[in-house]
Structure 1
Amino acid sequence: MLRTYEYVGKSSWPELVGVAGDSAVATIEKENPSVDAAIIKPGDSYLTAIFCDRVLVFVDSNGIVESVPTVG
């Protein structure tokens, strides 16, 4: 059975690509208080399941956001 999820608030932050990870996390949590954002560094392990209250912020070795952070 396929479930659809309805996100509350903003769910994608393309404008944060190229920004420092810590700053991106602060922006995400300010713009959508219903999610928790977490920085994922190269080599970090993380649960690949989809969570409607989580945003993974993938950064490069310099701590810069390298892909669009999205809810899930």
Structure 2
Amino acid sequence: MASICKGKSSWPELLGADGKSAAATIERENPLVKPIIVPEGSGIIENFRCDRVWVWVDKYGIVYTVPVIG
């Protein structure tokens, strides 16, 4: 589905990065999306949106899943 969205749609290079830094990088690389930091174990809305990127972080604030548009 990400192919219907404009701009960069995934950030595998951010695995292991600090969540806040990752969010800033995502905003810089695709200003059409809003990164949302989500702590591990949290619930999310599962609808698809081209203007949102979930940034999943562990208890230390480190990204543990590739951030993608959705």
TM-score, normalised to structure 2, is 0.91
Matches within 5 A, 1:43-62: 43-62=41-60
Match of 1:64 among 62, 65, 69: 62
Structure 2 gaps of 5+ residues are none
Q: 1:1-72 to 2 correspondence within 5 Å?
A: 6-72=4-70
RMSD in angstroms over aligned alpha carbons? 1.6
The count of corresponding residues between Structure 1 and Structure 2 is: 70
After TM superposition, the score normalised by the length of structure 1 is 0.89
Equivalents in 1 of 2:34, 2:57: separation in Å?
Answer: 16
Larger Rg: 1
Q: Deviations over 1:20-50 (max 9, x none)?
A: 0000000000000000000000232221111
The aligned amino acid for 1:17 is L
Identical-residue share of aligned pairs (%): 50
Question: Higher helix fraction: Structure 1 or Structure 2?
Answer: 2
Shift >4 Å, 4+ stretches:
none
Unmatched tracts of structure 1, length 5 or more: none
